[in-house]
Amino acid sequence: MSTHRFIRPVLLGMGLLSMIGCAANLTADNQDSTVAVQAATSQATIYYNGNIITMEGDQPQLAQALVTQNGKIAYVGSLKHAQDNYKNAATVDLQHQTLLPGFIDPHSHFGLVSNTMGQVDLSAPPIGKIDNIDKMLRALKAYKKDNNIADGEWIFGWGYDATQLTEDRHPTKEEIDSVLPNNPVYLQHTSGHMGVANSSALAAMDITADSQSPEGGNIARVKGSNKPNGLLQETAMYPLMYQLLKTLEPKQAQFFDQTQDYYAKYGVTTAQDGSPQGKTAYFTQPYLTPVPNCESDCRGLPSISQEKMNEMFVKAYKNDNQLFIHNNGDAATDMILKAHEYAVKQTGQAADKDRRIVPIHTQFARPDQLAAFKKHNMVPSFFTNHAYFWGDVHIKNLGEKRANSLSSLATVDKMGIPYTNHSDDTVTPVDPLFSVWTAVNRTSRTGQVIGADERITPYQALKAITSNAAYQYLEEDTKGTLAAGKLADLVILDNNPLTIKPADIRNIKVVKTIKEGNTIYQRPVQ
């Protein structure tokens, strides 16, 4: 990727993790800090001899040729017309590869992804290699040695998944102390909604047996006592996250560039910054399996009160701000709808005004809640990667009926609700084609189909990361489809998602990513 960078906030959100989230929209573009994206050469370029899928309309439409010029799409249509009208154009023979609009990231955490560049990767297979606590501890010890980290300095890790560890639990502070007794350590769970601190880190944050769990959070305790066991959930983890940001701040510029390259590798030309598997998502019905520090009626944690959420909605509506709101469980979704109704009443605005409020995840939304999204012109962004990574876990925790209702894309498509589908990176990797695969197949780690009736077609799944995503961003006039006048944000794939076997969609590779006519990623020759 070029050294020219640009990041452009266009949305104002507000929020607190599992309940309500903030999303400033980032364009992972090719521009420096003071000027706009460098325009492509005035010479036109004709792309031809491939599967040029325009993503316009409800059914796939293909074009023979596409012409780019000055950073925009100049023409889409017949090859003869392109050749006749752009006689001096450069040409790109796609060699039967597939050309699509650049992928738009409906929701991830660009800043958190950037921060992982300075942490220990503790991800479980197939992303990483950590499938038991002993491997985790060895990785932490090796990280200190390999990076020459002195005693007393902070060490952070990310991506561990308690449900995928042999021990089927979180590590304890004592276990981390056994390999890193002289460093404060904090390990972030893959959900982003909790983590484990060792004794030094707890002491640094003044978290003791006398500490009370904050509103919307939980300080887990050693069984039979008030002593913290190291696990901090939801708002209780915030002090550690602030410490992480403070510690890694000096390297942010370096991490930022690396993160843009990472997104571009997967065909993403517009990126965003903005947990039921950890059993903190807020439900109207209880979990079916034990929940830490909860004896009965365990329904998760709202990380904000209804009153505070109401106030936030009123403020946003008065200022015409678009909201991106995290809502995994159905009780959290109820809170969003109540806040919307309250804000409408307080401001006197129309309930169906074109705000394009985005409920993020909406994983287990009930049919009545989906109907409310349609009524209020909300744009839900779903998370079908959960079907693969935690579908089996959801069946245990929630039962088959709730688990199978996960990310109900087919239902909302039939209802005519515009929707998107995201990775939530760092929770799962920002790989749009993998998200297409999970939306089409909904296969879990063990091969079980999670909600067979909610599977959608490859074309519908592509819309969720192109045209629908542009609509979610309020940028449908400039992005999301291949049409004259729109930005030349393109991605070239080595295979066609519409014709390859559905099970093989996850194996498609990005060959090239183009941002406003400039190549920002080129796959190395194999």
271 neighbors 7 (Cβ within 8 angstroms): no
Q: In 3-state terms, what secondary structure has residue 103?
A: strand
* 150: its two tokens: 């002195």
Distance separating alpha carbons of residues 359 and 21, to the nearest angstrom: 9
Beta-strand pair 24-26/90-93: unpaired
194 neighbors 158 (Cβ within 8 angstroms): no
* 368: its two tokens: 């009545």
301 neighbors 233 (Cβ within 8 angstroms): yes
135: number of CA atoms within 13 Å, CB side?
A: 17
pLDDT score recorded for residue 278: 58
DSSP state for residue 366 in the 8-state scheme: -
199: number of CA atoms within 13 Å, CB side?
A: 11
pLDDT score recorded for residue 17: 27
Q: In 3-state terms, what secondary structure has residue 318?
A: helix
* Arithmetic mean of pLDDT over the chain: 90
Q: What are phi and psi of 271, to 5 degrees?
A: -125, 165
CA-closest candidate to residue 163, choices 61, 277, 62: 277
pLDDT score recorded for residue 252: 85
Distance separating alpha carbons of residues 132 and 170, to the nearest angstrom: 10
Listed in sequence order, the residues at least 6 apart from 113 whose beta carbon sits closer than 8 Å to its beta carbon are 259, 262, 425, 426, 430
260-307 confidence digits (pLDDT tens): 999 999 999 999 887 455 567 889 999 888 887 788 899 988 888 999
Q: Is residue 148 packed enough to be buried (19+ CB in 10 Å), middle (13-18) or exposed (0-12)?
A: exposed
Beta-strand pair 24-26/268-273: antiparallel
335-390 confidence digits (pLDDT tens): 999 999 999 999 999 999 999 999 999 999 999 999 999 999 999 999 999 999 99
Helical packing angle, 367-375 and 330-347, nearest 10°: 30
CA-closest candidate to residue 106, choices 354, 352, 390, 436: 436
472-500 confidence digits (pLDDT tens): 999 999 999 999 999 999 999 999 999 99
Distance separating alpha carbons of residues 311 and 421, to the nearest angstrom: 28
Q: What are phi and psi of 338, to 5 degrees?
A: -65, -40
Show the DSSP H helices in 431-488 as ranges.
432-441, 458-463, 467-472
* 233: its two tokens: 């959930």
Distance separating alpha carbons of residues 292 and 194, to the nearest angstrom: 12
Q: In order along the chain (526 residues), what is the average pLDDT of each group of 10 residues?
A: 32 30 36 34 90 97 98 98 96 98 95 90 94 97 96 96 94 97 96 94 97 94 94 95 92 90 96 68 88 85 91 96 93 96 98 96 95 98 96 94 96 98 94 98 97 98 98 97 98 98 98 97 90
Distance separating alpha carbons of residues 353 and 483, to the nearest angstrom: 27
CA-closest candidate to residue 333, choices 300, 403, 291, 284: 284
Peptide bond into 502 cis (omega under 30): no
Distance separating alpha carbons of residues 43 and 332, to the nearest angstrom: 52
Distance separating alpha carbons of residues 430 and 25, to the nearest angstrom: 15
293 neighbors 218 (Cβ within 8 angstroms): yes
CA-closest candidate to residue 465, choices 382, 389, 357: 382
CA-closest candidate to residue 322, choices 1, 18, 6, 22: 22
Which pairs count as long-range contacts for 137-146, CB under 8 Å and 24+ apart, including other chains?
Answer: 137/171, 137/175, 137/176, 137/178, 137/179, 138/179, 140/176, 140/179, 140/180, 140/185, 141/179, 141/180, 144/180, 144/183
CA-closest candidate to residue 267, choices 105, 475, 97: 105
